[in-house]
Copies of this chain bind each other. A is one copy, B any other.
Amino acid sequence: MTARPLELHPDRALPTDSNQRTVARTIYDQIKALPLISMHGHVDAQVFAENQPFADPAQLLIVPDHYVCRMLYSQGMRPEQLGIPRVDGGATETDSRAIWRHFCSNWKLFRGTPSRYWLADELGSVFGITEAPSADNADALYDQVAAVLADATFRPQQLLDRFNIELISTTDPAGSQLEHHASLAEQGLGDRVLPTFRPDAVVYLDRADWQASIEALGQASGTDVASYSGYLAALRERRQAFVRTGGLATDHGHFLADTTPLPQQVAAELYQRRFAGGEVSPAEVHAFAAHMLYQMAAMSCEDGLVMQIHPGVLRDHHSGVFAAHGQDKGFDIPFATEYTRALRPLLDAFGMDPRFRCIVFTIDETVYTRELAPMAGVYPAMRLGAPWWFIDSPESMRRFFETATETAGFYNMSGFVDDTRAYCSIPARHDLYRRMSAGYLSRLVTEHRLGEDEAIETAIDLAYNLPKLAYQSRQA
């Protein structure tokens, strides 16, 4: 059987209507080459600091990409077959070619998904592949990708230039010593690869790694964290350390968007009880997390770090997979999330504060017209984050513009923010957003709701200026 071609059409993801496509192309041409601002990624700082070559095609593109793995699980493949490590150290597939073959043989499963779009783009644009993956050509494609990976110019730091990345942020725990960022600074990349402060592990009292994370926080900050006030002081100190290392933002992966503060003595008692190894109820866990989100906002008013909020995901939905393979294995499932009441304490206290900025994300699309756009459209401190995770996709982006713009306007959006562990997908993701924004703007133009010159200006803002602005301290 002849292989299907892997086509990367220059008009891909642009609107079908020919009048609209003409306008969309004009807009896209003005933004396609703009540098990438990538302020919410999950590439490890160590990867940049050590700048080692990538292992092999499967270890780079398949194993760490939970979008890809989950789709293969959905058709009966087991994590072990894809080389996903077991917590107990048990055997899993070690032959990267075998893993790669599973992926190639199942290429059709990805039809209509953003993974298909990104992977086709990466394979074509980055690796020069011209055939669609299949069982037949799996080995040939493996060799072709492996050859590119072996090239000396294909190292993490060199890719920053190749990918046109102006700014990229890693995500780092509150107790990080930021040693890799120190190394990056020595290598002259301190202004280009920034840390982001992520305190979830020290904020969620029920996390398995809470104790260890608290200890790391104490050590990194040189602060005694046995008391609640010590804990707050340690957080303040680490936030300052992040600021000194170039950090611009914090990131909060909360279950709920709740931001209700507790009376200080209640919060202190809870913290100290947990510190002493006592029991905390699930309700207390959530109440403390909400309280700390409020505290983090208060600290942002002091130090200018931009606050990112990512709520609404039930992590590790399948207990068996979690027990066998740990977190982030594709079994995180969104649920309906309330923002209007949940964010009220935070916005009531800091929403009009000229020192504060928060960017609010959601995976629950229903809240765009109903809750998030109305709040982003009035509170100066709030920006509406780009569609995230499962909804970082063509159809969802289209809906995002259709549902959020009318009430929030374009200028209360963060512009594009990618959220990936898959380093090589970053250009494809930004490019897709640029195409989708050009598509939406082109409809406003052809429906005579916006001038073409305004549309181009707006597209440039969404792709480049707004993300830079959104992550800029308002105190700068």
Contacts and interface: CB of A to CB of B under 8 A. Distances in A.
Interface string A357-399: 0000001111001110111111110100000001101111001
Contact of A376 (B11, B74, B320, B321): B74
A4 B320 CA distance: 61
A405 interface: yes
A379 B15 CA distance: 33
Interface string A104-125: 0000111111101100000000
Contact of A111 (B369, B375, B394, B409): B409
A212 to B, nearest CB: 27
B378 A390 contact: no
B319 A348 contact: yes
Contact of A363 (B75, B370, B454): B370
A402 B320 CA distance: 31
Interface stretch (A180-188, A239-247, A256-264, A337-345): A337-345
A449 B112 CA distance: 7
A395 B402 contact: yes
Interface in A87-113: 108-113
Contacts of A399: 402
Contacts of A14: 447
A354 interface: yes
A473 B319 CA distance: 25
Contact of A74 (B15, B394, B412): B412
Contacts of A112: 401, 405-406, 409-410, 444, 449-450, 458
A378 B73 contact: yes
A273 interface: no
A351 interface: yes
B318 A352 contact: yes
A380 B73 contact: yes
A73 B314 CA distance: 35
A145 interface: no
A317 B108 contact: no
A334 interface: yes
A412 B393 CA distance: 18
A348 B371 contact: no
B74 A379 contact: yes
Interface in A293-334: 314, 317-321, 330-334
Nearest to A10: B448
A443 B15 CA distance: 9
A369 B393 CA distance: 11
A16 interface: yes
A7 interface: yes
A338 B336 contact: yes
Contacts of A74: 376-380, 382, 408-409, 411-412
Given A374-B334, A448-B11, A405 B113 contact: yes
Contacts of A73: 378-380
A352 B396 contact: no
A401 B254 CA distance: 30
Contact of A406 (B374, B393, B412, B447): B393
Interface of A: 4-5, 7, 9, 11-20, 70-71, 73-76, 108-114, 116-117, 132, 314, 317-321, 330-336, 338, 340-341, 344, 347-348, 351-352, 354, 363-366, 369-371, 373-380, 382, 390-391, 393-396, 399, 401-403, 405-412, 443-444, 446-451, 453-454, 457-458
26 contacts: A4-B453, A16-B20, A71-B377, A71-B378, A73-B379, A74-B378, A74-B382, A74-B412, A76-B354, A108-B457, A109-B409, A112-B405, A112-B406, A112-B458, A113-B405, A314-B344, A317-B344, A317-B348, A318-B347, A320-B348, A331-B378, A366-B366, A366-B370, A390-B407, A394-B406, A395-B403
